[in-house]
Chains A and B, each alone.
Chain A
C-alpha cells in the first residue's frame, strides 16, 4: 500500500496530471455544450465516449514521466531508477502504478460524467454511468500499458488521441471487417452508447465489457511481463 501511496503522490505532483484532470472534465462538457442542438437517446453518453482525452493523457504521462530524462543540470537520470530503487519488485511497482492510475481515473470519470450530464440534462441511468466510468478507467489503463511497452509517450498519445476523433480509425475499420467492432474502444463504448452510427453488428453492453476487459487485461499482462524482463 505504501507503494500505491507513493505512486499517488507522484501523480499528484505532476503538472501534466492536473492538466489531464482539467481536460477530462472540460472536453466532454465542452463538446456537449457545442452539441446542444442535437437530440437523441445517447445525448451526453456520446460526448463522454469522445471526451476520453483526459484519461489518455493521464495513462500516458503516468508512465512516460518515469522515462523522461531529466535536464542535464540534474544529472540526466531517469526517475525510473529512483522508483525501482525504492520499490525493487518490478511487478509490485507496476501494479502500484496501475492502481494509482485507476484511483485517479475513477473519480475523474465520475466528475466528468456529472458535469456532462448536468449540461445535457439527460435522464441518469446508473448502469450506463457505470459503463462510462469503466470505459474511462479502461482507456487510462490501455494508454498506461501501451506506454509501458513502448517506454515513450509520443506514439501512444498520438495514436490514441487521433482515434478519439469523431470518425475514429477503428470505426472506419468496421466498414472493412466486422471484426473491427471488437477493438477495445469500439467494444467498450457499447457499455453505455446504445447505437454506434449505422452499425450492423450488435454487441450487448455485457459483451462489450468482457471484450474491453480482455484487451486491458491482456495488454497489462504483456506490459508486466516485458517490464519485468527488460533492463530499466
Chain B
C-alpha cells in the first residue's frame, strides 16, 4: 500500500490474521483477521462475549492464540523493542494495584520504559488526574480509574492506542473528552483501535469499522461501507449480528 515511508510516518499498522482461540473446548475466536491503519480510528464492534477482548488481549501478548498472528508493524507485541513507546493499551479497570497511589503506579511504568518522572506529571495533567495523583487507587471512582488507565497508555506517547470499551464507566464529560482525544490522535497520524458494544456512541468517532460476532468477522470496511443501505451504524450492527441473543 505504501511505497516507501512518507516524512513524519509514525508506523503503527496493526495486522491481525487468522486468529483462533479455544478455551475449555469452546471456540472463542474462529480465525479472525483485519487491519487497523495509522491516521484512522478503527472501531472493533460486537456484542458482549463476541471475542473483542480476547482479540485485543492476544494482540497485546496477554493471551496466547492457538493459531494466527497479531502484529504491530509486522512484529508480535512481545518482540517490540520498545513496547511502551509503540503501543498504549487501555483495558478494563485501572490496571493498577489498589494500595498504590496513582502517581506511584505511573512511576513504575515510566521506569520500565526509561521515561523521565516529569512525563508522569504531564500525563496526569493531560487526563485531569493531577489533584488525585497522591491518592490510593483503591479510593478512585470508576471514571478516575479509567482516566488512570488512559494516562498509563499515554506515558510513552505511543503511535498506537488500543482501547477496550474506553467509554465504559465515563460520565458525559469524560465520553466527550475521550472522543475528541481519540480523533486528535488519529489526526496526528497515529493508529487508534477501540472496541465497543455501544454503537450510538461511536458513529461520530470512527473511520473504519470491524464487526465481530460469535468469534467471526461479519463485516469490515469504512464507516460508510459497513453502514451501507441501513439508516445508521446501529441498524447495520443489529442487522449483521441478529440472532446473537442481544
Please list the residues of chain A having a beta carbon within 8 angstroms of any beta carbon in chain B: 69, 71-73, 75-76
Contacts and interface: CB of A to CB of B under 8 A. Distances in A.
Contacts of B93: 71-73, 76
B98 A69 contact: yes
A73 B54 CA distance: 13
Contacts of A76: 93, 98, 145
Nearest to B140: A76
B83 interface: no
Given A71-B93, A73-B93, 11 more contacts: A69-B98, A69-B138, A72-B92, A72-B93, A72-B94, A72-B95, A73-B92, A75-B142, A76-B93, A76-B98, A76-B145
14 contacts: A69-B98, A69-B138, A71-B93, A72-B92, A72-B93, A72-B94, A72-B95, A72-B145, A73-B92, A73-B93, A75-B142, A76-B93, A76-B98, A76-B145
Contacts of B94: 72
A74 to B, nearest CB: 9
A12 to B, nearest CB: 23
Nearest to B149: A72
Nearest to B96: A72
In the A-B complex, the 10 residue pairs with the closest CB atoms = A72-B93, A73-B92, A72-B92, A76-B93, A69-B98, A72-B94, A73-B93, A72-B95, A76-B145, A71-B93
A62 to B, nearest CB: 22
A75 B165 CA distance: 13
Interface in B84-120: 92-95, 98
Q: Point out which of A71, A73, A75, A76 has the most chain B C-beta atoms below 10 A from its C-beta.
A: A76
Interface in B37-68: none
Interface string B112-151: 0000000000000000000000000010001001000000
A72 B95 CA distance: 8
A76 to B, nearest CB: 6
Nearest to B53: A73
Q: Point out which of B93, B95, B142 has the most chain A C-beta atoms below 10 A from its C-beta.
A: B93
Contacts of B145: 72, 76
A116 to B, nearest CB: 38
A72 B137 CA distance: 12
A219 to B, nearest CB: 26
A72 B148 CA distance: 13
Contacts of A73: 92-93
A95 to B, nearest CB: 29
Contacts of B98: 69, 76
A72 B91 CA distance: 10
B244 to A, nearest CB: 21
Nearest to A76: B93
A152 to B, nearest CB: 11
B99 to A, nearest CB: 11
Q: Point out which of A69, A71, A72 has the most chain B C-beta atoms below 10 A from its C-beta.
A: A72
Q: Point out which of B92, B95, B98, B138 has the most chain A C-beta atoms below 10 A from its C-beta.
A: B92
A22 to B, nearest CB: 24
Nearest to A73: B92
B245 to A, nearest CB: 20
Nearest to A69: B98
A208 B94 CA distance: 51
A115 to B, nearest CB: 34
Contacts of B138: 69
A76 B95 CA distance: 11
A181 B135 CA distance: 45
Interface in B138-195: 138, 142, 145
Contacts of A71: 93
A72 B165 CA distance: 13
Nearest to A71: B93
Contacts of A72: 92-95, 145
A117 B51 CA distance: 54
A73 B92 CA distance: 6
